[in-house]
Chains A and B, each alone.
Chain A
Amino acid sequence: MSDAFQSWGRFPRAARQAAHPIVWQTDRLPATSGTLLPYGQGRSYGDSCLNEGGTLLTTATLDRLLGFDAATGVVRCEAGVTLDTLLRLAVPRGWFLPVTPGTKFVSVGGAIANDVHGKNHHRAGTFGRYVRRFELLRSDGSRRVCSPEENPDWYEATVGGLGLTGLILWAEVQLRPIHNPFVLTETVPLENLDAFFAVSRESEPDHEFTVAWVDSLARGRKVGRGLFYRGNFAPPQFDGLPLAKSHLSHGSGLAVPFDMPGFSLNRLSVAAFNALYYRANVLKRGQRLQHYDPFFYPLDAVQGWNRIYGRDGFLQFQCVVPHATARAAIQEILERSAREVPSFLNVLKTFGGVPSPGWLSFPRPGVTLALDFANRGERTWRLVAELDRITREAGGAVYPAKDARMSAESFATYFPQLERFKAYVDPAFSSSFWRRVTVAPAVQPAALPLQEGAPLPAVPLRSSL
């Protein structure tokens, strides 16, 4: 039992979980009376990578590269390999990840289990679309190679399946070609939310990557004030640059060495950060050539940045809302957050219509918004529960990989294929998240649909802190 395996948000804490390293594809799953859950790099924010009272199957040692075809861009690797390792292999050979989340320190298994998306969702869809095959090990010892052709139902259940269908042993991913490791980016200042929608619409046809940073404290007519980033991989005229030396480990010297005291993030510092960020970056408007690393992974430059939120951790909230209701719902979410609990970092982007094979995949057509809240106890939880309600009423969905608070009712509403999925959950597998969002509301106080202003039952939640 150890405290070593936590989620990236470090909330909720899971104190009683055992770890069992998976070293080889030939390993058997441990016999235990409790439940199992794969754990890669622990980059999920809430409790979807936690298994309080059970065992984590850690995959950091299941990390071998099994093959790379430089002609076709197909890479095969064990599930614990990180995207960082894939980039180190692929970029010097002229290939890149087809889809990448905002950190390269996730495992391939985790990227599949959460069907991650990136700044190119409007064009490329999710990571799962580029997973050609993988092998799934179940607790009964059975092994299945899954692909859109072989065992397609297992394939669709496992992509986005939150690690619950079994342990992914290895996977084959189709990479995309690049001419060089640079991105031609452009920063466009946004006055408000209307500007975001206009710039987004105008940018998507010609830009593979789009995303916006939004000032978390702007209110009223200024809601949505921010900066829009758009870009494409640099064209072949930059081919003269030496590809072999292109892997830049920027900022590796920076790290947060200890938990920052909780008071360092308050309304004032959040406001100061957001104002400074806007001023510093609005000056960089216009086009420039940027290495892929700071463009895709700005936060990776500071190791352990999650520790700035202090010991109590933080909650991330990410939702997607359909286009029809997006304008009003996003405005409401931003305003409530600015008024009640300021978010440190707000990220806004539109998702496209490219479907994912995964039944439980989060991305769907609409607008997605991610917010970071330092965990201030009930006040924060109440707000996040409210944002969950707003999302549900707008016909949207909340991202399980970023969630620590959504209700069971919401989860069932967000993922209409849930019942079908349940038949594919391995009987020995479970997670803290899964138990939280699938138990009957009467048993689990945290899962009660919350009314605005209703007191939140604090005891069961606090007990894990």
Chain B
Amino acid sequence: MKKVLVLGATSAIAQSTVRLLAARGASLYLVGRNATNLDAVAKDAATRGAAKVEQQALDLNDTAAHEALVERATQALGGLDGALIAHGVLGDQKACERSWVDAEQVLRTNFLSAASLLTVLANRFEAQKAGTLVVISSVAGDRGRQSNYVYGASKGALNVFLQGLRNRLAPSGVAVVTVKPGFVDTPMTAHLPKNKLFASPDKVARGILRAADGRKNEVYVPGIWALIMLIIRSIPEGIFKRLKL
């Protein structure tokens, strides 16, 4: 990935990935909601060696703006050969249970806006018969649990969407990489008590680039989550529904 569009560039995982891409001398088009914070990330990337950094402040829930956004990014970088979809919200499960407005917000940001962006990007990458789409999903999408099933559903839907897209784009040589991080120590999880399973954004970022370079299909980062989720998925539903997970 040499010319990369980064959606949700101010997220902790995206920032770490941007640093690694910048150190490789990639050209970057960064998108985030807060212009001031985005500016700091852009300066950081430029100082660390990115060949070119362009930025645009945008609320990605505005799906009507996606087509123009991708066009602008392509123009600015003189083409696109990679995209990282890293924006998302954790949401408050309890609030989502009480109110559809809250639940819809999580589904809208994590699934609908990502699906919209992927539609635009997929058509372009398919036409140019090259490119890598990297999407940050979550282990939470592997099985619905009472503690965060709205967030989990948004990521689960995203995973299925990506599977189909991968299937569709395989003949055109476009890679679709689903990244499933476990717990990551970021501002999104600042309120949660930390344990040994929490990985640093830097570690996750290295896993993301490894997966992108290797044009992998679905990866768990860190790898231990493949085993953990295998076990979680294997628990029969009759037992699972009585667990407090």
Contact = CB atoms under 8 A, between A and B. Distances in A.
Interface in A1-40: 21, 23-26
Contact of B187 (A21, A25, A68, A89): A21
Contacts of B43: 64-67
A61 B37 CA distance: 13
Given A21-B187, A65-B43, A26 B48 contact: no
A65 B37 contact: no
A68 B44 CA distance: 10
Contacts of A25: 36-37, 40
Contacts of B158: none
A26 B37 contact: yes
A71 B40 CA distance: 22
Nearest to A23: B187
B48 A66 contact: no
A67 B47 contact: yes
A78 interface: yes
Interface in A50-64: 61, 64
Interface residues of B, number: 13
B187 A64 contact: no
Contacts of B190: 21
A66 B34 CA distance: 17
Contact of A61 (B34, B46, B187): B187
Interface string A177-215: 000000000000000000000000000000000000000
A136 to B, nearest CB: 17
A199 to B, nearest CB: 41
A67 B41 CA distance: 11
Interface in B175-230: 187, 190
Contact of B47 (A21, A23, A61, A66): A66
Nearest to A20: B190
B41 to A, nearest CB: 7
A85 to B, nearest CB: 9
B167 to A, nearest CB: 38
Interface string A158-174: 00000000000000000
B187 A65 contact: no
Contact of A66 (B36, B44, B187): B44
Interface of B: 12, 34, 36-37, 40-41, 43-44, 46-48, 187, 190
